[in-house]
Amino acid sequence: QVQLVESGGGLVQAGGSLRLSCAASGRTFSSSSMGWFRQTPGKERDFVAAINYSGRITTYTDSVKGRFTISRDNAKNTVYLQGNSLQPEDTAVYYCAADMANRVADTEGTYDYWGQGTQVTVSS
């Protein structure tokens, strides 16, 4: 199994910024696409952003375009999600996920491995 560990969540005021990190184990990270999803209580887990194995291709859900940036450092086996101008509606548990087939997709079923999540709370 591949282990993914998210970090960097916390409490931030509206308009503030956070940088989430996801550290991956094993030698498969550099050949996998990575995604970020988020979930609030009682709701479905929603797609946020994805990045291909090399970092050359990225995609975002409309609500975070221009505010969030996904990136990766394959030498560190780490993917990042930078969130700026955070809004209360960004409050959620954020999960990173890995797709061993290197697809860049917005559906949960695409991804093979998931982290435990990190809480982001944006206060008004």
Q: pLDDT tens digits, residue range 56-104?
A: 999 999 999 999 999 999 999 999 999 999 999 999 999 999 999 999 9
Residue with tokens 């050359």: 56
Q: Percent of the chain scored above 90 by pLDDT?
A: 94
Which residue type sits at 15?
G
Residue 27: pLDDT band (50, 70, 90) is: confident
Q: Which two tokens stand for residue 99?
A: 């797709």
Residue 30: pLDDT band (50, 70, 90) is: confident
Residue 36: pLDDT band (50, 70, 90) is: very high
Higher pLDDT, 27 or 9: 9
